Structure 1
Amino acid sequence: MRTDLTDALNPVAEAILGLPIRSNVFLYVFLPTLLFQATLGMNLRRMLDDWVPIMVLAVVAVVVATLSVGYALSWATTLPLAACLLIGAIVSTTDPSAVVSIFRSISAPRRLARIIEGESLLNDAAAIALFGLFMGFVMLGVPNPELSDALARFPVLIAGGALTGWLAARVAIWIMASFHAHELALILVSVALPYLAYIGAEQSIGASGVIAVVAAGLTLNLSGPGRLPPQAWANLREVWDLLAHWAGALIFILAALLIPRLLEDVRVSDFILIGVVIVAAIAARAVILFGLLPLLAILRLSPPVERPYRVAILWGGLRGAVTLALALAVTESFRVPVEVKRLVGILATGFTLFTLIVQGTTLRSVIGWMGLDRLSPIDEAMSRQVVAVALQTVREDIARTTEDYALTHDIVRAEAKVFGERLEAAVRTAEDSDEILDRDRITLGLIALAGFERDTILARVRERTISARMAEQILSDADRLIEAARAGGRSGYQQAARRSVAYGRAFRTVVALHNRLGLSAPLVRMTSDRFELLLSQRLIMRDLDAFIDGRIRRIHGRRVADLLHELLARRIETVETALEGLRLQYPGYAEELERRFIRRTSLRLEEREYAAMREDGLIGAEVYATLMQGLAVRRTAAEGRPTLDIALKRKELIKLFPLFADLDEAALRKLGRALRTQYVNAGNVIVHKNNEVKNVYFIASGAVELESLGQSWRLGRGDMFGQVAALTRNARRAEVRAIAPSTLLVLDVARFRQMLAQSAVLQNAVRASAEQRGIDPFLLLGEVLEEK
């Protein structure tokens, strides 16, 4: 239809259509922008908890969908198999934004939303990697590629792209950290990073540029908050949100202008092929959701996902900007056959429109039909609690307001009566609900407590009393507490609390690297992080008792509040114990961190005073700016963490042992060179039965359990073990296992025998341990004393 309005827009459309837009524009400009922004906006530390289901869903879902759509089209059309698989890879990408936003609006589990987001990001990366592979076959004119050869190249594409992206990101982070005072420079480097990573991977080593972009984004997401100023990091993410928004909008605009040219000769058979794509894609997704996900849950590799949620995820598999960008990259390539371009444009556009118009408009209705839009009893109780607590706070604020402004007492009494009746009704409803059991009240209290803990952490991060390096990890631990309390009540909360303090798999790995290969840098970094994490947790938990008494006790009563106090006291004791263990290993380091905390706090208070003086007009803008510049320099210096040198602390550890009290300074230095430090985690076996005698162990911190001939002994700080077998020259008949994270000083047998002959204190210790185990001390000391 020709109208004055539409005809007026024709010159603009013709100008856009006349632009030399080729496939490279979509591959090198739009895709890196969309993927890089997605990586920056994700909570990767929490997604690492579910990396198995995310990886399986992403990779397996892409392969299944690509093969399903590809072979279905190959059966229904005369297109070459390579072209059909290319179309399958294009339509395999998913856009989770709609379903995730709806899940959040109905209070769906956050873990489920994270799995969907992570699966979608890696899904896009894997699908685009396959797209590049099959696109090459189509442009080279290979009609029927060997599927095994194609899939064999897939890991090479991923590994090469991941390595390129990681290296590019590390270089970019180093440059950005060097120019931390210049925020615009940081943002410009971040803008250049995904494009350089993409081009470097594609053109230099022939790997997947998309995987390189994702790897670069993941690396920046994990390392950026700890290396860049907090405000600069926040502004950088806002810039990328805006870039991705415009990239997605431009893709839809270009699709609306470019693809209609391919739709001029659309045929009835094309609609049938669109139906084939729809059925094949939905069927492939259903196999993953209703076949693979339950299997992963049975194997305990994935959280169980209830059937209503799986139905919602199935119907929420929308396609969006990435699918259209890939389709446009094909249609605007002069090396792709015309019929392939025509079908790619029609099928990709038709399938995207189906998901947006049909699935998108009916998704909320499907969720309502499945009953997912209704709150559970515990969520309803939570809403009643929020209302009651909010009204109590409002009443206290109103009381202060009436006193400050000396309002008329008659008016105050009238309004207070109405408000008091409403407050009493709300509190009575929260307290007397028959639907909520006692254990649910405890769960509600724990959720509220964990939520307040998270809010306190955010406040401390904004005040910069908690460093940006540790902020994300501490927030992740708080999120785990909330989700664990919601899912498992008291036991779930306690398990998550223990996990936040426990030594994880990564720490055990760096300990092994230190013990076996002598690589101490990773252990130093993780030990320093653990010090700071424990100190931050202790500071945060000190503020939680007042919240329990001020808020939770009002709603849930004294018994629930007392129980929460008890659980909190156990958490504080656990943190204090872990912190004390580190203090014993590294005397003085915790005090340095505490001084750093005080310095950051003083800087925050100083900044607040300058701002107040500026608002009161006591200082001008120029003076304020100068003061803030000086403050920024001192804050940057205060952010630096003291160096932890684990090697230099060995001498101080030796001095803790009464066994070495009679050694002079020269002997201590010599002993320090002879001893080596070994770190073991709780549960690790240090000494196996019937092994050859090689070392004697001194416990600097921690505890071990020794089992021999049906008897067991527990040894702690200052004790030693292994000396019996060392002195009798027999194989050990005892097994020694760490029952707590421990630091051991290890001395080989020859040096131990030499030192024993010279130290009366050590001889007395060996004699006492022999008598404790029922062994004649002369059997142990006789030979040594004769040698002396």
Structure 2
Amino acid sequence: MHESSFFLVVLAVSFLLFLAAYVAVYVKQIRLPYTVALTVFGIILSILSRFAPFDFLNVLELSPDLVFYLFLPMLIFEGAYNMKFLELRANFKTISALAIGSLLVSAFFIGWALFQVFKMIGLEIPFITLLLFGALISATDPIAALAIFKELGVPKRLRLLLEGESVANDGTALVLFQVVLGIASGGALTAWKLAESFGNFWFLVGGGIIFGSVLGIIFSKLIERIRNLAVVEITLTLVLAHTAFIFAEKFLHVSGIIATASAAMLIGNYGRYKISPEVRSFMEHFWEYMAFVANSLIFLLIGLSIREARFGNYIWPIIIALAVVFIARFVSVYAVIPFTNKLAKEEKTPFSWQFILSWGGLRGALPMAIVLILPADSPFLPAEHRELLLVLTVSVIYFTLLFQAPTLTKFLNRFRLTVLTPVQQLEQEEGFLLMDSAILKKLDEMKASGKLPASTHERLRELYAGLHKDAEQRLRTLLKDRGEILSHEEMLFILRKHLLGIERQAYIRLFDKHEISERMLVVLKDKIDRQIDRLERRVPQAAAVGKGSRLAFWELEQKIYKFIDKINIAFVKNWSKNRKLDFEIEVYQKYRARKIAVEKAMKELDNITATRVFIDQAVIDAVRKQYDYWFENSLKRLDEMEKKNPILIESIRFVIGNTVSIALEQKILRELLQKGILAENAYAEVNDYLHGLIVEKHDVKKMYFKELKERGMA
């Protein structure tokens, strides 16, 4: 690139980002998926770029390196970062079947069908070339479909299947493409080469998983050492996304996409609570923005990159390819899902969902990036064949985005996947009642404090009291229509799920205030997540097998320490003694956190009772009885621990109290800065000092041994 043209590149990129921002606002008004609108504008740009004053856009081109090493790692990382291990594990076999089985069926069906049909019309193209096309075009892009799903509120598991398949099959599609490309460039196909290719496929996939997971753990540990430095923590995740991809592809020769996805899932699950509380929310917004920029530029650049393509020369091949790819998606989904429904011990995927997964299998950035890396001219791929594959790829991408995506809503409505279930209707009315009750309470507080005149208060209270009454009437009607027995079960489900959500949030807040360890947060949160999952799948809690992997492992660890105690070796016993002390601290944290979380849930239960959301008193009584038991059990356990080791418990309480006090000091310090009472340099110095105190005073064992020594008990 000439130095004098660099400003044109900056100008062109700025123009595209401005256009992307405009499109993002515009699509909200016309209710069109963002990527679909970008595709349309990309086509318009490809025409406008031929004329002044838009010809400066010709300085940009969509190169494979730009997509692979800059944009793709960001898109993969953002998609995988928000995936939960628990949900993936519950649907692992179905997602794997779609990402591997369905992809293989699709790729080979497309290659075989195109080879047969093209031969009929006199177009002689080698099967291996068409198999390359089948591999690259079978990678799905769920962005447009997920935007529609989110807007219309389709079942959460359906969204997970589509997104999980896409993240995984991006990697498997590229791996399959690389394997087929190796076969194509290597001459004749033999049994040995086929076996070698099969082994290479799994090496690329497995190597990517292992390398990405290791990097994810390493970077999680690095982030753990950094507190409240948003720019550093976010930068490390950005470095991780691209490092995982580049090192996997260029140095280890394993799948970069799978490595990046694995690293992102490790950070998003194992490392999520190692990220500073103040940074955690901003991290999600940052990656959402990076995905927005990457997608925007890719789809607009696709439009600019096809301005020289000769679509008119390939009308019949395009029509045939569109039909074959469309059919292949349905064949590949319907070929594998019945097996997972029958063999896998997972929730079944109904026929309507299979249809939506087929219709929603849109294509996006990855197929375009892959087709661009095809060699310009080689013995096995002449220039005219490469041009054909490029034209077919762009045509399929545009067809899925401009035809399938806009019509997806029609099929979602036809299968009634957007209709609120009776439980969701009950949850909706519960939400209206809780909001109206909270507003009425706030209005009374504002009047009592003199912030709201009596006349205004009266008018507003009349308005929201009417809304509250209407919501209550709708709820009564809904319960009457559903029948007493069924409505009782549904109300019990809603109330339990609501209170479990409050418990979960309480644990996260306790961790953010340094009152429980990260390990204890994971144990408690994992248990809550499992209970919510069982509720949503309508599995009775009493019928659930096991205690959850986190809690089971935690308890198994303690049995191992008891066994080690029997080994009469000094350093082993000292190590075991320290670990057992850690365990006692964690047990105290567990029951103290349970007590606090249960108290918050019971307080919310009192609030719900006062708002008359749950008309069936039996529901409230049943749940209150369970929470009363949990509260009393937590108090009993805490009391037993204090009697057994009062010095340790006092040390724990002192450290927690001290930590909470320092956190309050930090809050007051921030307020002083915002009010202009404290200078920025003074704020930074005091804040660093307070943060150091939290780290230092949080060592319970150090304080415990100090107390023992002072009392002559060490």
Task: Work out whether the TM-score is over 0.5.
Answer: yes
Contact 1:46 / 1:476 at 8 angstroms: preserved in 2?
no
Which residue in 1 is equivalent to 2:19?
none
Contact 2:241 / 2:260 at 8 angstroms: preserved in 1?
yes
Which residue in 2 is equivalent to 1:323?
367
Note if 1:224 corresponds to 2:271.
yes
Which residue in 2 is equivalent to 1:733?
none
Partner Cα separation in structure 2 for residue 412 and residue 226 of structure 1: 43
Note if 1:389 corresponds to 2:434.
yes
Which residue in 2 is equivalent to 1:543?
600
Amino acid at match of 2:613: I
Find 1:377's aligned residue among 397, 412, 422.
Answer: 422
Partner Cα separation in structure 1 for residue 159 and residue 561 of structure 2: 36
Which residue in 1 is equivalent to 2:72?
31
- Which one has a bigger Cα radius of gyration? 1
Partner Cα separation in structure 2 for residue 236 and residue 186 of structure 1: 8
Residue 460 of structure 1 and its aligned partner are, at CA, apart by 4.3
Contact 2:377 / 2:383 at 8 angstroms: preserved in 1?
no
Q: How does 1:349-388 map to 2 (within 5 A)?
A: 349-388=394-433
Amino acid at match of 2:436: L
Contact 1:72 / 1:277 at 8 angstroms: preserved in 2?
no
Partner Cα separation in structure 1 for residue 549 and residue 588 of structure 2: 11
Which residue in 1 is equivalent to 2:60?
16
Relative to structure 1, the CA distance from residue 132 to residue 381 in structure 2 (aligned partners, 3 Å threshold; closer, same or farther) is: same
Find 2:347's aligned residue among 296, 303, 309.
Answer: 303
Residue 539 of structure 1 and its aligned partner are, at CA, apart by 2.4
Find 2:212's aligned residue among 159, 162, 165.
Answer: 165
Which residue in 2 is equivalent to 1:70?
111
Contact 1:68 / 1:281 at 8 angstroms: preserved in 2?
no
Relative to structure 1, the CA distance from residue 446 to residue 319 in structure 2 (aligned partners, 3 Å threshold; closer, same or farther) is: same
Which residue in 2 is equivalent to 1:43?
84
Which residue in 2 is equivalent to 1:712?
none
Residue 641 of structure 1 and its aligned partner are, at CA, apart by 7.5
Find 1:138's aligned residue among 161, 184, 187.
Answer: 184
**Any idea what SS the aligned residue of 1:556 has?**
coil
Amino acid at match of 2:141: D
Partner Cα separation in structure 2 for residue 225 and residue 162 of structure 1: 19
Partner Cα separation in structure 2 for residue 453 and residue 45 of structure 1: 18
Which residue in 2 is equivalent to 1:735?
none
Contact 1:69 / 1:281 at 8 angstroms: preserved in 2?
no
Amino acid at match of 1:266: Y
Partner Cα separation in structure 2 for residue 592 and residue 118 of structure 1: 46
Which residue in 1 is equivalent to 2:14?
none
Note if 1:100 corresponds to 2:159.
no
Amino acid at match of 2:331: A
Contact 1:172 / 1:189 at 8 angstroms: preserved in 2?
yes
Partner Cα separation in structure 2 for residue 321 and residue 640 of structure 1: 50
Which residue in 1 is equivalent to 2:132?
86
Relative to structure 1, the CA distance from residue 182 to residue 337 in structure 2 (aligned partners, 3 Å threshold; closer, same or farther) is: farther
Q: Which runs of 5+ in 2 are unaligned?
A: 1-43, 119-123, 706-712
Residue 497 of structure 1 and its aligned partner are, at CA, apart by 11
Residue 394 of structure 1 and its aligned partner are, at CA, apart by 1.6
Partner Cα separation in structure 2 for residue 536 and residue 322 of structure 1: 46
Note if 1:214 corresponds to 2:233.
no
Relative to structure 1, the CA distance from residue 155 to residue 241 in structure 2 (aligned partners, 3 Å threshold; closer, same or farther) is: same
Residue 581 of structure 1 and its aligned partner are, at CA, apart by 9.8
Which residue in 1 is equivalent to 2:443?
398
Note if 1:445 corresponds to 2:504.
no
Q: Which runs of 5+ in 1 are unaligned?
A: 649-664, 666-788
Residue 98 of structure 1 and its aligned partner are, at CA, apart by 3.6
Q: Which moved more, 1:113-122 or 1:95-104?
A: 95-104
| Cα deviation 1:340-363 (Å, max 9, x = unaligned) | 422321222222222111110011
Note if 1:556 corresponds to 2:584.
no
**Any idea what SS the aligned residue of 1:55 has?**
helix
**Which structure is higher in strand share?**
1
**Any idea what SS the aligned residue of 1:261 has?**
coil
| Cα deviation 1:425-466 (Å, max 9, x = unaligned) | 432443463024222222232233223334444554555545
Q: How does 1:671-682 map to 2 (within 5 A)?
A: none
Which residue in 2 is equivalent to 1:623?
682
Relative to structure 1, the CA distance from residue 239 to residue 374 in structure 2 (aligned partners, 3 Å threshold; closer, same or farther) is: closer
| Cα deviation 1:679-726 (Å, max 9, x = unaligned) | xxxxxxxxxxxxxxxxxxxxxxxxxxxxxxxxxxxxxxxxxxxxxxxx
Note if 1:287 corresponds to 2:335.
yes
Q: How does 1:479-490 map to 2 (within 5 A)?
A: 479-488=529-538
Which residue in 2 is equivalent to 1:603?
662
Partner Cα separation in structure 1 for residue 595 and residue 166 of structure 2: 37
Partner Cα separation in structure 2 for residue 579 and residue 333 of structure 1: 74
Relative to structure 1, the CA distance from residue 614 to residue 236 in structure 2 (aligned partners, 3 Å threshold; closer, same or farther) is: closer
Find 2:326's aligned residue among 278, 292, 298.
Answer: 278
Which residue in 1 is equivalent to 2:16?
none
Amino acid at match of 1:370: F
Residue 477 of structure 1 and its aligned partner are, at CA, apart by 4.1
Contact 1:446 / 1:493 at 8 angstroms: preserved in 2?
no
Which residue in 2 is equivalent to 1:192?
239
Contact 2:205 / 2:258 at 8 angstroms: preserved in 1?
yes
Relative to structure 1, the CA distance from residue 40 to residue 418 in structure 2 (aligned partners, 3 Å threshold; closer, same or farther) is: closer
Partner Cα separation in structure 2 for residue 163 and residue 44 of structure 1: 16
Q: Which moved more, 1:164-173 or 1:535-544?
A: 164-173
Partner Cα separation in structure 1 for residue 469 and residue 673 of structure 2: 44
Contact 2:209 / 2:259 at 8 angstroms: preserved in 1?
yes
Partner Cα separation in structure 2 for residue 118 and residue 591 of structure 1: 47
Contact 2:333 / 2:357 at 8 angstroms: preserved in 1?
no
Partner Cα separation in structure 1 for residue 470 and residue 58 of structure 2: 66
Partner Cα separation in structure 1 for residue 503 and residue 551 of structure 2: 22
Contact 2:90 / 2:346 at 8 angstroms: preserved in 1?
no
Partner Cα separation in structure 1 for residue 48 and residue 115 of structure 2: 45
Residue 576 of structure 1 and its aligned partner are, at CA, apart by 6.8
Contact 1:450 / 1:482 at 8 angstroms: preserved in 2?
yes
Contact 2:363 / 2:401 at 8 angstroms: preserved in 1?
yes
TM-score in terms of structure 2 length: 0.77
Relative to structure 1, the CA distance from residue 14 to residue 421 in structure 2 (aligned partners, 3 Å threshold; closer, same or farther) is: closer
Relative to structure 1, the CA distance from residue 271 to residue 115 in structure 2 (aligned partners, 3 Å threshold; closer, same or farther) is: closer
Contact 2:49 / 2:57 at 8 angstroms: preserved in 1?
no
**How many aligned positions are there?**
638
Contact 1:100 / 1:113 at 8 angstroms: preserved in 2?
yes
Q: Which moved more, 1:530-539 or 1:559-568?
A: 530-539
| Cα deviation 1:636-665 (Å, max 9, x = unaligned) | 4456685999xx9xxxxxxxxxxxxxxxx9
Partner Cα separation in structure 1 for residue 613 and residue 462 of structure 2: 20
Q: What do you get for the CA RMSD once the two structures are aligned? A: 4.2
Note if 1:242 corresponds to 2:292.
no
Residue 571 of structure 1 and its aligned partner are, at CA, apart by 3.9
**Any idea what SS the aligned residue of 1:374 has?**
coil
| Cα deviation 1:82-121 (Å, max 9, x = unaligned) | 3222222212222233433444444444344333332321
Partner Cα separation in structure 2 for residue 209 and residue 541 of structure 1: 45
Residue 472 of structure 1 and its aligned partner are, at CA, apart by 5.8
Contact 2:49 / 2:304 at 8 angstroms: preserved in 1?
no
| Cα deviation 1:403-437 (Å, max 9, x = unaligned) | 22286656655654554344334324434630242
Higher relative contact order (CA 8 A, sep 6+): 2
Partner Cα separation in structure 2 for residue 321 and residue 528 of structure 1: 50
Partner Cα separation in structure 1 for residue 97 and residue 560 of structure 2: 29
Relative to structure 1, the CA distance from residue 372 to residue 225 in structure 2 (aligned partners, 3 Å threshold; closer, same or farther) is: closer
